[in-house]
Amino acid sequence: MRRFDAIFIGAGQAGPFLAARMAERGMKVAMIERKFLGGTCVNAGCMPTKTLVASARAAYVSRRGAELGVKIAGEVAVDMEVVRRRAHQVTMDARNGLADWLGTLEGVAVVYGHARFEAADRVVVNGETLAASRIFLNVGARPVIPDLPGINDIDYLTSTSILDLDTLPRHLAVIGGSYIGLEFAQMYRRFGSKVTVIERGARVASREDGDISEAIQEILEAEGIDVRTGAERIAFARGEEGTRISLGDADVDASHVLVATGRKPNTDDLGLDGAGVAVDPRGYILVDDTLATNVPGIWALGDCNGRGAFTHTSYNDFEIVAANLLDGDDRKVSSRIPAYALYIDPPLGRAGMTEREATSSARRILVSRRAMARVGRAKERDETRGFMKVIADADTREILGAAILGIEGDEAIHGVIDAMNAGTRYTDLQWSVPIHPTVSELIPTLLRGLA
Ligand SMILES: Cc1cc2nc3c(=O)[nH]c(=O)nc-3n(C[C@H](O)[C@H](O)[C@H](O)COP(=O)(O)OP(=O)(O)OC[C@H]3O[C@@H](n4cnc5c(N)ncnc54)[C@H](O)[C@@H]3O)c2cc1C
């Protein structure tokens, strides 16, 4: 049995950074990873998908070139092999960079293999027992495959396996109209596939407010994506074209099917029972406000704790645990203001509460909206789709939440995120003087609309 000061299971977006901080303090740590260093973000999530989104946008902008006075001789064609290779290279650079960095850290032993708890202070990997008084779980999540009729009779893709595709699907059906599904839907449409999004619920991106979902659907439909919402009875069968998807009242014949119906935590094969670590009914590890589990000496960080599903939330989990354990600080997850982006183009940048959440919080709220068509930068680029809105507390003047669905919405939202983190009242920002012509320049005007 090998003894360490700390064991990390999963090299996602939290573990490696905390392992490095502990090693800097002279501790001996084991970093166990069963597949690739960097986890989902680097290998099957943010990095490859945003690289693909960049290629898809290049195709979109090229096709629109003539509208901006740029002539391209012949048709714009997409070379899927180059597109795939570029995304793969970005992943490999990040993965290798992480491996090189971890390899230089004294005190960090990287162990490749699947880890399982034997007891609260022991795990088994590759038949060897490793022990430590502190164990950090950063095991992430994986795609959920819903139990739909016929699904096991067809060849379907997930958000991971689609990254290996180097040919263009003739017709891609995307099952699930949420964040991951919508990003792939638009990207493949721009690459040149026919795309149908099939969503069981009444609207796409259903966690967002209705006006946002509606605008997203309009953006996708304007690019020729067929969006079928309210598809409550989805069934699959092999068809002449690949797969026949029955929606009850209609059929869709697709050459490829991407299943993007959510993710579940990698906690079912971790032997959590052996350690006594409690999970919720969906398998997320229960943690307190400092990310400690119910078992002293075991923490859970990143997607597996159900407190965030993003790279930045996982990284912030590292920052919270490091601050508390190593720097004598007192940081809590509940202080974190939720923020994220949906990377369709134009993107949606989001901060804090939705309008629906704010309305049901029993506060007196104010809402202000402005169309992207009023933004100089958007007009100049001729990309005026979308809108921005902000929600505030009428009594305290706190900014409760905001959404920017429009070009550079993922960047411009940071003005609001920073203001919310600083506790700035909207009345203090209404008269700030922004730079022209930017997307952010409409934010003071938007805030003045709160009255
Ligand atoms: C298609 C897609 C696009 C995304 N886009 C974005 C985006 O644009 N922005 C954003 O912020 N987030 C995005 N995400 C989410 C983001 O990738 C994750 O939130 C992020 O990677 C944080 O994950 P994590 O740190 O919890 O663990 P992960 O990165 O999932 O890593 C967990 C690691 O644990 C390993 N592991 C699991 N079990 C064991 C075990 N028993 N033993 C050993 N090793 C184990 C796994 O192999 C994996 O490497 C996207 C996700 C997907 C799927």
pLDDT one-digit tens code per residue, 144-187? 999 999 999 999 999 999 999 989 999 999 999 999 999 999 99
Instruction: Give the whole-angstrom CA distance, residue 63 versus residue 398.
Output: 43
pLDDT one-digit tens code per residue, 125-141? 999 999 999 999 999 99
Give the bridge partners for 251, in sequence order.
Answer: 246
**Does the CB atom of residue 270 touch ligand 1 within 6 A?**
yes
- Which tokens go with 53? 């989104």
Burial 406-428 (b: 16+ CB within 10 A, else e): bbbbbebbebbbebbeeebebee
Q: Give the H or E element holding residue 434.
A: none
Measured from the Cα of 10, ligand 1's closest atom is 34
Domains observed in the chain: 2-142+264-335 (3.50.50.60), 151-261 (3.50.50.60), 339-448 (3.30.390.30)
**Does the CB atom of residue 40 touch ligand 1 within 6 A?**
yes
Q: Is 349 exposed, middle or buried (0-12, 13-18, 19+ CB in 10 A)?
A: buried
**Does the CB atom of residue 125 touch ligand 1 within 6 A?**
no
Q: Give the H or E element holding residue 197.
A: strand 194-198
Instruction: Give the whole-angstrom CA distance, residue 10 versus residue 150.
Output: 33
pLDDT one-digit tens code per residue, 401-420? 999 999 999 999 999 999 99
Quote the distance between the C-alpha of residue 411 and its chain's center.
Answer: 15
Residues 6+ apart with CB under 8 A from 11: 31, 32, 33, 36, 37, 38, 39, 98, 102, 110, 138
436 is catalytic: yes
Measured from the Cα of 340, ligand 1's closest atom is 11
- Which tokens go with 195? 């795309």
Residue type, 274: G
State how far the alpha carbon of 242 is from the alpha carbons of 196, 255, 409, in Å: 14, 5, 37
Ligand 1 site-directed mutation target among 7, 40, 284, most atoms within 8 Å of CB: 40
Instruction: Give the whole-angstrom CA distance, residue 230 versus residue 247.
Output: 9
Which pLDDT score is estimated for 451?
Answer: 79
Residue labelled with tokens 């002293």: 296
Which pLDDT score is estimated for 241?
Answer: 83
- Which tokens go with 9? 């299971």
Indicate left, alpha or beta for 377 from its phi (over 0: left) and psi (-120 to 50: alpha): alpha
HEC string of 60-103 equals HHHHCHHHHCCCCCCCCCCCHHHHHHHHHHHHHHHHHHHHHHHH
- Which tokens go with 269? 């094969």
**Does the CB atom of residue 344 touch ligand 1 within 6 A?**
no
pLDDT band at 240 (very low <50, low <70, confident <90, very high): confident
In whole numbers, what is the pLDDT of the chain averaged over residues? 97
Q: Choosing from 88, 171, 414, 436, which is the catalytic residue?
A: 436
